[in-house]
């Protein structure tokens, strides 16, 4: 250290990192070791042994010394076929759909640009907007969690959003908004509308075929909730003119060679995941039914692999389950419509039975 620097305080993040970033809270990930993990909408089933062997073969010869092909033609062709992506659309790949959300917002975030969503919804739309310095406008849904079409239309008129994000089904409420209302919304939107179909496998409803109709529509999905959360792969389909521009924001090698190979291999055997989803939907129905029978528990109808329920004391239910080895999410305090609400991810039949036993024990102790 030379004399001029003596007594100088080393620069810290307070003088470098934006104040609004320092004020942000990082996306919460709960410690889950040894717990029945029903907090993050993961598929609880492992892949069958024969498929894991094939994945081993597929990655064994991967050229790890080379950068991945940024265009991932084989994976995109597989996705197009398996997911019935219309021929008039191109595909954008992301390191999870979280990255696609960030790319879309970054590409659109001119000074003063607005990103709009019905709320409560997936937190990353607001979080990515904040990071990109776009203004996020949340339009409350109705008390029954349906889309307030009137309020959405009025907000679009007032704020002229560059991008509207709609989670379909909606996380964390679990319901699908009315398709005709959404179609009208896409028609009158002044910008891009992104329909986020992270839970499409469980809902069996999709705007994918309607990409033919709407030039300002993007349909985004992920393989995470389907059973491959560890891979980090999201994809979005839209008209080539949209994909071409948003693609410029993408880090050049954002999807690694292992993700490309493994996803391609699993998608060859897509039926395995579809069958697991069928089991999870049956289990969701069972859980809905059993939760509804508990006094003081009001589960909401869900089209996803999780159930939102209102209870008398969300924090006590969360803690009681945690003490009994079951990890869920409490949403109390995140939005007025979610007062005393908790969210259960649907697990294996055994895990769901454990959850129900822990719920009964917990409620008895309150
Ligand atoms: C989980 C989730 C995502 C993020 O998925 P990744 O592909 O794992 O990043 C996106 N949208 C919604 C609505 C989600 O619930």
**DSSP state letters, 60-115:** HT--TTS---TT-HHHHHHHHHHTT--TT-EEEEESSHHHHHHHHHHHH--TT-EE
Q: Determine whether the shortest distance from the Cβ of 96 to ligand 1 is under 6 A.
A: yes
Peptide bond into 116 cis (omega under 30): no
Mean pLDDT of the chain: 96
Q: Determine whether the shortest distance from the Cβ of 259 to ligand 1 is under 6 A.
A: no
3-state secondary structure of 196: strand
* Residue 97 pLDDT level (bands cut at 50, 70, 90): very high
Q: Residue 21 is encoded by which pair of tokens?
A: 């970033």
Give the whole-number percent of the chain exceeding pLDDT 70.
99
3-state secondary structure of 292: helix
* Residue 365 pLDDT level (bands cut at 50, 70, 90): confident
R_g of the chain, CA atoms, integer Å: 22
Q: Residue 30 is encoded by which pair of tokens?
A: 């709960």
Q: Determine whether the shortest distance from the Cβ of 122 to ligand 1 is under 6 A.
A: yes
Q: Report the pLDDT value the prediction gives residue 43, as an integer from 0 to 100.
A: 97
Q: Report the pLDDT value the prediction gives residue 3, as an integer from 0 to 100.
A: 63
Model confidence over 273-285: pLDDT tens digits? 999 999 999 999 9
Find out whether 171 and 302 touch, Cβ atoms under 8 Å.
no
* Distance from C-alpha of 272 to C-alpha of 265, rounded to nearest angstrom: 12
Model confidence over 237-270: pLDDT tens digits? 999 999 999 999 999 999 999 999 999 999 999 9
Q: Report the pLDDT value the prediction gives residue 165, as an integer from 0 to 100.
A: 98
302 phi and psi angles, rounded to 5 deg: -130, 145
What number does the ligand 1 atom closest to the CA of 98 have? 9
Q: Give the mean pLDDT of 15-19.
A: 94
Q: Report the pLDDT value the prediction gives residue 6, as an integer from 0 to 100.
A: 74
- Of 23-37, 265-279, 303-317, 334-348, the least confident: 23-37
Pocket test for ligand 1, best of 27, 40, 79, 97 (most atoms within 8 A of CB): 97
Q: Determine whether the shortest distance from the Cβ of 98 to ligand 1 is under 6 A.
A: yes
Q: Give the mean pLDDT of 274-299.
A: 98
Taking the CA atoms of 248, 249, 252 and 253 in sequence, report the sign of the dihedral they define: negative
Residue nearest to atom 5 of ligand 1 (CA): 97
- State how far the alpha carbon of 348 is from the alpha carbons of 30, 113, 172, 281, 303, in Å: 20, 43, 20, 11, 17
Q: Give the mean pLDDT of 223-234.
A: 96
Model confidence over 109-121: pLDDT tens digits? 999 999 999 999 9
Nearest to 53 by CA among 239, 321, 337, 269: 269
Model confidence over 136-160: pLDDT tens digits? 999 999 999 999 999 999 999 999 9
Nearest to 20 by CA among 135, 159, 105, 140: 135
Q: Report the pLDDT value the prediction gives residue 139, as an integer from 0 to 100.
A: 98
Residue 1 has pLDDT above 60, yes or no: no
pLDDT: which is higher, 6 or 42: 42
* Distance from C-alpha of 348 to C-alpha of 337, rounded to nearest angstrom: 29
DSSP string, 147-169: --HHHHHHHHHHH--SEEEEESS
Nearest to 322 by CA among 26, 95, 39: 39
Q: Report the pLDDT value the prediction gives residue 268, as an integer from 0 to 100.
A: 96
Q: Report the pLDDT value the prediction gives residue 4, as an integer from 0 to 100.
A: 66
Find out whether 93 and 233 touch, Cβ atoms under 8 Å.
yes
Model confidence over 29-52: pLDDT tens digits? 888 899 999 999 999 999 999 999
3-state secondary structure of 311: coil
Find out whether 117 and 125 touch, Cβ atoms under 8 Å.
yes
Pocket test for ligand 1, best of 198, 219, 306 (most atoms within 8 A of CB): 198
Nearest to 43 by CA among 237, 269, 222: 222
Nearest to 154 by CA among 144, 165, 139, 142: 139
- Cβ-Cβ contacts under 8 Å for 204 (sequence gap 6 or more): none
């Amino acid at each position: 250290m030379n004399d001029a620097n003596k007594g100088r305080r080393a620069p810290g993040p307070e003088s470098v990192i934006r104040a609004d970033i320092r004020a942000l809270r990082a996306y919460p990930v709960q410690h889950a070791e040894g717990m029945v993990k029903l907090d993050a909408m993961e598929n609880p089933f492992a892949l069958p042994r024969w498929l894991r062997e094939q994945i081993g073969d597929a990655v064994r010869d991967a050229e790890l010394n080379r950068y991945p092909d940024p265009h991932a033609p084989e994976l995109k062709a597989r996705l197009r076929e398996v997911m019935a992506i219309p021929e008039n659309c191109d595909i954008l790949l992301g390191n999870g759909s979280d990255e696609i959300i960030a790319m879309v917002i970054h590409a659109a975030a001119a000074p003063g640009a607005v990103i709009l969503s019905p709320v409560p919804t997936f937190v990353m739309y607001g979080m990515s907007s904040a990071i990109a310095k776009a203004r996020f406008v949340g339009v409350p849904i109705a008390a029954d969690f349906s889309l307030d079409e009137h309020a959405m239309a009025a907000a679009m008129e007032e704020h002229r959003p560059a991008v509207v994000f709609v989670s379909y089904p909606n996380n964390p409420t679990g319901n699908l908004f009315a398709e005709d209302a959404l179609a009208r919304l896409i028609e009158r939107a002044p910008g891009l509308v992104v329909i986020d179909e992270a839970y499409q496998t469980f809902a069996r409803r999709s705007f994918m075929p309607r990409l033919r109709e709407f030039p300002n529509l993007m349909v985004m999905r992920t393989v995470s909730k389907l059973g491959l959360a560890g891979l980090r792969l999201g994809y979005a389909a839209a008209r080539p003119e949209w994909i071409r521009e948003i693609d410029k924001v993408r880090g050049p090698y954002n999807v690694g060679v292992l993700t490309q190979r493994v996803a391609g291999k699993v998608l060859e055997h897509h039926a395995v995941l579809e069958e697991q989803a069928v089991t999870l939907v049956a289990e969701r129905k069972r859980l809905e039914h059993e939760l509804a029978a508990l006094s003081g528990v009001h589960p909401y109808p869900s089209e996803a692999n999780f159930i939102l329920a209102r209870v008398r004391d969300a924090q006590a239910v969360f803690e009681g389950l945690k003490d009994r080895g079951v990890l869920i999410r409490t949403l109390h305090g995140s939005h007025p419509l979610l007062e005393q609400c908790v969210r259960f991810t649907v697990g294996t039949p055994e895990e769901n039975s454990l959850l129900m036993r822990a719920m009964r024990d917990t409620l008895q102790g309150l």
